A and B are shown apart, each in its own frame.
Chain A
C-alpha cells in the first residue's frame, strides 16, 4: 500500500521530440510528479510546452526517452488522464450544449448518475445557469470553465492544463485560479499546469518546473513549500512567496535573454 502510494503518477524520463529532424523541440526533459502533487511548468513562448503535454497525454509518442504513467507506457491516452487544451474554444463541440459538452466523456453509466455528475461538475465551475447555452454563446472565461468541467467530470487522477487562464481578464483569472485549486484539492487530483505567468505558477503549485528555450530542457525544479490553503492576498504578500517568485523570475528572464540573443545571432549570420 505504502509503496503504491509513493509511486509517481507521472515520470518523464529524458523525453525528446522533434517535428522535423532539423528542429528538436524537446531534449532530455525529465521530471516526475507524485500523486496529488500540483506541478506548474513555466517556459518561454514557443519552447515546446504544448508539445510536451501532447507527449504526456499520449496524443503523440516521444522520439526518445519514455513517458511513464504509474510506471507504464501508453500508446493512447490513459483512462485516468484528462486535459484542457490551450485553444479551449476550438476544443468545445459547437453542436452540443454546455451540458452535453460536459457530459461528452461519460459513457456506459446510467442516466441518473450521469446527469448528477454533470450537474456537480457544472456547479463546481459555476456554470449551472448557462448549462443549456451553446459554447459559442459564452464568453471566453465561461468557455474555459466549460472545458474544465468536461475534463473533471470523468474523475481523472491526472489533469493537464495548457495555459488555461491565458486569455481572460485579471479578475476572472484570479477567480479561476482559486476555483481550480479548490477543485484539485477536493478531488485530490494530480495537476500539471502549463503557464506563462510566474505569479500564478508559484501561487498555485507545489513544484515549479522551469523549461529552457527551444529545444526545451528542464533548467530547474523548485519546490514551493507555501502552506495550504493559499490566499490571493496573504500568500502573495508573504516573504516566502516573494523569495520564490524572485528565484523563478530570475531563471525565466535568463532564458528569455538567451532566446533574444539567439535570435540576433541568427539574424547576424
Chain B
C-alpha cells in the first residue's frame, strides 16, 4: 500500500520534470528563436519522418545493417578468441602484450587507416565497428574462461570430451555471464563507432543524415537524428537485456543461492 503510493509519487515527479523541461524548451524556442533551438513540433515531425519512406532506407537501414554486421563479428570473434585464450592459459603470456596494446588504441584513431585500406566503403565502416567493440568481449570471455570451475573441466575429461566439445559444452556456457557483461559494453562502443564512421565518411546512414542537416542548418532534423540514435541504442540495450535474462536464468538462480559458489 505504502510502497504503491511512493511509486505513484515518484512517477508523478518524473512526469513533472519531463513536462517542465519540454515546456522550458518550447517557451525558449518561441521567445528567443535561434537556429539551434527549434520548436518541439519540428523535431517531432523530423523524428517521425525518419521511420518510414525514403529516410528509413537511406538513414536507418544502412546504419543498422553495418552496426549489426560489425557487432556480430565482434561478438563471435571476441568470444571464440577469448574463450580459447582463457582456456589455454599457456598461450596467454605470448599474446597478452599485443592485445594489451591493441585494446588501448582509441578506436577512432584506426579510422583513417581503415579509410586508406578499404576506401569509403561499408567494409571500412564494418571493420571500424568490429575493431572498436571486439576487445571488451574478448577480455570478458578470457576472464570468464579462466574462472571456470576446474571440477567441471574434470567432469568433461572423464566424459572424454574433445577440446572443441569442451569449449562449446562447458567453457562457453560457464563463461556466458561474463561474456554478456562484455557484450553490453561492446554494444555501446559499436554505436559510437557506427556514428563516427558515418560522420567522417559516408553518403548514407544516420550519422550522415545528422551531418548533412547540420550543414543545411536544418536543426530540427539534427535533433531528430540524435533522438533516433538514442532510441535505437536504448532499444538494442533493452533487447540485449531481455536475451540475457532468458539465457542466464540459471545464473541468477544459482547465484541467489547462499553459499552456492563456495
Chains A and B touch each other in the complex, with CB atoms below 8 Å apart:
yes
Tell whether, in the assembled complex, residue A105 and residue B151 are in contact, meaning their CB atoms are under 8 Å apart. no
Q: B131-184: which have CB < 8 Å to A?
A: 149, 151-152, 154-155, 157-160, 165, 169-170, 173-174, 176
Q: Tell me how far the C-beta of A135 lies from the nearest C-beta in chain B, rounded to whole angstroms.
A: 9
Q: Kindly state whether residue A93 has any CB partner on chain B within 8 Å.
A: yes
Query: Is the Cβ of A136 less than 8 Å from the Cβ of B155?
Result: no
Is A91 a contact of B257 with CB atoms below 8 Å?
no
Residues of A within 8 A of B160 (CB): 76-77, 79, 105
Most chain A beta-carbon contacts within 10 A, residue among B158, B160, B254: B158
User: Interface size bucket, A side?
Assistant: 20 to 34
Give chain A residues whose Cβ lies under 8 Å from the Cβ of B257: 136
Nearest-neighbour CB distance to chain A for B25, whole angstroms, equals 48
Interface size class, chain B: 20 to 34
Instruction: State whether B151 touches A83 (Cβ < 8 A).
Output: no
Complex interface: chain B residues within 8 A of A261 (CB): none
Q: Which of B160, B165, B169 has the most CB of A within 10 A?
A: B160
Please, what's the 1-or-0 string for A74-104, where 1 marks a CB less than 8 Å from any CB in chain B?
0011010111010101110111100000001
Shortest Cβ distance from A137 into B: residue: B253
Contact indicator B254/A91 (Cβ below 8 Å): no
Partner of B250, one of A81, A83, A104, A134: A134
Shortest C-beta distance, A122 to chain B (Å), equals 18
Complex Cα gap A89–B260 (Å): 8
Q: Does A57 belong to the interface (CB within 8 Å)?
A: yes
A224 interface residue (CB < 8 Å to B)? no
A95→B158 contact, CB < 8 A:
no
| Whole-angstrom distance between the Cβ of A114 and the nearest chain B Cβ | 14
Tell me if A94 and B155 are in contact (CB < 8 A): no
User: Within 8 Å CB of B253, what residues of A?
Assistant: 134, 136-137
8 Å CB interface, A105-130 against B: 105, 107
When chains A and B are docked, how far (Å) is the Cα of A107 from the Cα of B257?
Answer: 31
Residues of B within 8 A of A148 (CB): none
- Give B185 Cβ to nearest chain A Cβ, in Å: 22
Q: Is B89 an interface residue (CB 8 A)?
A: no
- Asked whether A57 and B170 contact (CB < 8 A) given A94-B251, A136-B253, the answer is no
Q: A76-B157, A154-B159 are in contact. Are A91 and B250 (CB under 8 A)?
A: no
- Judged by a CB distance under 8 angstroms, whether A59 is at the interface is yes
Query: Given A77-B157, A82-B158, A95–B151 Cβ distance below 8 Å?
Result: no
Report the bound CA distance from A93 to B251 in whole Å: 11
CB-defined contacts of A93 to chain B, threshold 8 Å: 152, 155, 170, 173-174
Q: Closest CB-CB distance, A94 to chain B, in whole Å?
A: 4
Give every chain B residue within 8 A of A90 (Cβ-Cβ).
149, 151-152
CB distance from B17 to the nearest CB of A (A): 42
CA distance A63 to B120 in the complex (A): 62
Question: In the assembly, what is the distance between CA of A214 and CA of B155, in Å?
Answer: 27
Q: Which residues of B contact A136 (CB under 8 A)?
A: 253-254, 257, 260
Chain A contacts for B157, CB-based, 8 A = 59, 76-77
Chain B residue numbers with a CB within 8 Å of A105 are 158-160
Q: For residue B154, which residues in chain A have a CB less than 8 angstroms away from its CB?
A: 59, 85, 91
Q: Closest B residue to A60 by CB, please name it.
A: B154
User: Are B174 and A91 neighbours in the complex by a CB distance under 8 Å?
Assistant: no
Task: Kindly report which residue of chain B lies nearest to residue A106, judged by CB atoms.
Answer: B159
**A59 nearest CB neighbor, chain B only:** B154
Contact yes or no, B159 A91, CB < 8 A: no
* Residue pair B155, A91 in contact (C-beta under 8 Å): yes
Q: A134-B253, A134-B254 in contact; A104/B155 too (CB < 8 A)?
A: yes
A-to-B contact residues, CB < 8 Å: 57, 59, 76-77, 79, 81-83, 85, 87, 89-91, 93-96, 104-105, 107, 134, 136-137, 154
Given contacts A76-B160, A107-B165, 6 further A-B contacts (CB under 8 A): A89-B260, A90-B152, A93-B170, A93-B173, A94-B260, A136-B260
